[in-house]
Amino acid sequence: TPSTAPRIAVIGTGYVGLTTGVCLAHLGHDVICCDIDQRKVDLLRAGTAPIVEAGLEDLMADAVAAGNLEFALGNDPAVRTADVVFLCLPTPQGDDGSADLTYVTSAAREIGPLLPSDAVVVNKSTVPVGSHKVVKAALGRDDIAVVSNPEFLREGSAVHDFLHPDRVVVGADVPDARERVSALYSSLDTEMIETDAASAEAIKYASNGFLAMKISFINSVAALCESVGADIEAVARGIGTDDRIGPKFLKPGPGWGGSCFPKDSRALVSIALDHGYDFSLMRYVIEVNEQQHQRMVHKITAAVGRNDGDRLDGVTVAALGLTFKAGTDDLRDSPALRILRKAQQRGAAIRAYDPTVQGDLDPYRAGQVQNFDLATTALDAVDGADVVVVLTEWPEFSTLDLAKVKESLAGDTIVDCRNTLDPATVRAAGLHYSGIGRPN
Ligand code: UGA
């Protein structure tokens, strides 16, 4: 009997597209993931995920073996027989802070003439409010509905987040198209939020904006804790137990980064401005985040006995962690890189270790860590350095052999920008500890 499972084409195999495609196949749908990058398609066909994402390769192998997942170079002919097409393309930040829709609209223009008449196009890419209309215009098809189905996947736990979502948001102005997309998720035990297209698009930006605000807030409270001698860990626990606030995203750190929050928070300001509203709260959230990078540089300066504003000539910084958070190999908009570049501008030499930034780097990654001396172990980075700065919360940093650190470090301080070490243990090893919002 012929399969009645909907045929899905996913355009773009970045971490959103690949996770979406693999997980939809895992849920039993027939999926083809398309990409224009021959190298990626070759890797995927060989069973290798081009990104680090927990559990992804296993699910991918299972779905390919079960016969409901394939990979294709280009979108034609896959989209000609698709019931639902997911657009999972990059929306980089344009010069004015707004999201650049070029990749999305050019894909829509390409597939418009190829789609069968009952197809539905789904926007998974993070696109400005109102983009469903732009995509529809680019498709050039009156008969095809565009549905907004934003993703809430965290890098590193994208597979888990897809299969165990807090909610799935599906927004469309055509009820039938909305129902067809909602039905794809019917086997997930979750709350379905069904809205019009513009509301679904707004939910995505408002979610990321709110989460960024939560982190900027806790980083500001951490700064206050440092001034008044309070402990941010206790304060975060104390406020997070209030159900209305919640304990998550209250971890102080070097500032938020990654491929989403920086871009989406600026886009939110820009979307609001385009419609005549000054979203000043969001502007300050971004400003506080930039101040946080600067505050980390001040901590490094203080740790080597220099005054604020002093240069760091002759100082070697052992940087532990370069990715924007643990559990990913992503360096995009990483606060670690921003902070280290600021230290470098003041004359510091950077000796860095990150478990995912090793060996022969591709040109993009190599460019990101240009002029850093890359070490192969954490202790190797520390050897002879003047200060240790923990920038990413990789679990291995919380179990560092502190006796060895003490022995091989020329200086005497660990600046822990992630509060990942236990201050008492660091002090017991004869080192100074400088964390975020923790008493000295
Ligand atoms: C974020 C959102 O969490 C996802 O829901 C969303 O789908 C995704 O963006 C997206 O728009 O695609 P992600 O960028 O992978 O996911 O990273 P997060 O885990 O949210 O962390 C973002 C940044 O905030 C990181 O730099 C992280 O270190 C920082 N952070 C996070 C904190 O400093 N403190 C916290 O308590 C939590």
Centroid of ligand 1 to alpha carbon of 316 (angstroms):
30
190 has a pLDDT exceeding 70: yes
Rounded distance between C-alpha atoms, residue 228 and residue 236, angstroms: 15
Mean pLDDT of 399-414: 97
Ligand 1 near 325 CB (within 6 A) = yes
Tell me, what's the pLDDT at 1? 43
Banded model confidence at residue 362, pLDDT cuts 50, 70, 90: confident
At residue 355's C-alpha, the angle toward residues 350 and 356, to 5°, is 95
> Could you give the residue ranges of the DSSP H alpha helices within 260-375?
261-274, 280-303, 335-345, 363-368
Which residue's CA lies nearest to atom 10 of ligand 1? Answer: 260
Centroid of ligand 1 to alpha carbon of 95 (angstroms):
23
32 has a pLDDT exceeding 50: yes
Q: Which domains does the chain have, with CATH numbers?
A: 7-195 (3.40.50.720), 196-440 (3.40.50.720)
Point out the ligand 1 atom lying closest to the alpha carbon of residue 156: 15
Rounded distance between C-alpha atoms, residue 25 and residue 8, angstroms: 9
Burial of 91 (0-12, 13-18, 19+ CB in 10 A): buried
Ligand 1 near 107 CB (within 6 A) = no
Centroid of ligand 1 to alpha carbon of 94 (angstroms):
21
* Nearest residue to 402 (alpha-carbon basis) of 243, 89, 416: 416
Mean pLDDT of 48-65: 94
Which tokens sit at 167? 């909610």
Which residue's CA lies nearest to atom 9 of ligand 1? Answer: 260
Tell me, what's the pLDDT at 415? 98
Tell me, what's the pLDDT at 99? 83
Tell me, what's the pLDDT at 3? 55
Rounded distance between C-alpha atoms, residue 339 and residue 341, angstroms: 5
Tell me, what's the pLDDT at 290? 98
pLDDT digits (tens, 9 = 90+) for 96-130: 878 899 999 999 999 999 999 999 999 998 888 99
Count of CB atoms within 10 A of residue 198's CB?
Answer: 16
Please give the torsion angle defined by the CA atoms of residues 51, 53, 59 and 63, in that order, rounded to the nearest 10 degrees.
-30
pLDDT digits (tens, 9 = 90+) for 230-280: 999 999 999 999 999 999 999 999 999 998 999 999 999 999 999 999 999
Banded model confidence at residue 281, pLDDT cuts 50, 70, 90: very high
Which tokens sit at 246? 């919640």
Rounded distance between C-alpha atoms, residue 64 and residue 79, angstroms: 19
Residue list, annotated binding site for substrate: 152-155, 204, 249-253, 257, 325
Sequence-distant (≥ 6) Cβ neighbours of residue 406 within 8 angstroms: 429, 430, 431
Tell me, what's the pLDDT at 52? 82
Tell me, what's the pLDDT at 93? 82
Point out the ligand 1 atom lying closest to the alpha carbon of residue 393: 28
Q: Residue 291 — φ and ψ, nearest 5°?
A: -60, -35
Ligand 1 near 204 CB (within 6 A) = no
At residue 121's C-alpha, the angle toward residues 115 and 127, to 5°, is 135
**Mean pLDDT rounded to a whole number for the chain:** 95
Residue list, annotated binding site for NAD(+): 35, 40, 91, 126, 155, 263, 332
Q: Which of 152, 232, 264, 325 to mutate to test the pocket of ligand 1 (most atoms within 8 A of CB)?
A: 325
Centroid of ligand 1 to alpha carbon of 211 (angstroms):
8
37 has a pLDDT exceeding 70: yes
Ligand 1 near 154 CB (within 6 A) = yes
Centroid of ligand 1 to alpha carbon of 158 (angstroms):
11
Task: Judge if the upstream peptide bond of residue 77 is cis by omega within 30 degrees of 0.
Answer: yes
Kindly report the length of the chain.
440
Which residue's CA lies nearest to atom 24 of ligand 1? Answer: 256
390 has a pLDDT exceeding 80: yes
Q: Is the pTM of this model over 0.90?
A: yes
Ligand 1 near 253 CB (within 6 A) = yes
Task: Tell me, yes or no, if 260 is annotated catalytic.
Answer: yes
Centroid of ligand 1 to alpha carbon of 327 (angstroms):
12
Which tokens sit at 308? 């604020």
Beta bridge partners of 72: 34
Point out the ligand 1 atom lying closest to the alpha carbon of residue 335: 26
Tell me, what's the pLDDT at 94? 84
2 has a pLDDT exceeding 80: no
Rounded distance between C-alpha atoms, residue 320 and residue 393, angstroms: 9
Mean pLDDT of 319-345: 96
Q: Which of 88, 125, 126, 211 to mutate to test the pocket of ligand 1 (most atoms within 8 A of CB)?
A: 211
Which residue's CA lies nearest to atom 30 of ligand 1? Answer: 256
Residue list, annotated binding site: 35, 40, 91, 126, 152-155, 204, 249-253, 257, 263, 325, 332
Phi-psi category of residue 278: left, alpha or beta, with phi > 0 → left and psi -120 to 50 → alpha: beta
Tell me, what's the pLDDT at 375? 97
Tell me, what's the pLDDT at 132? 95
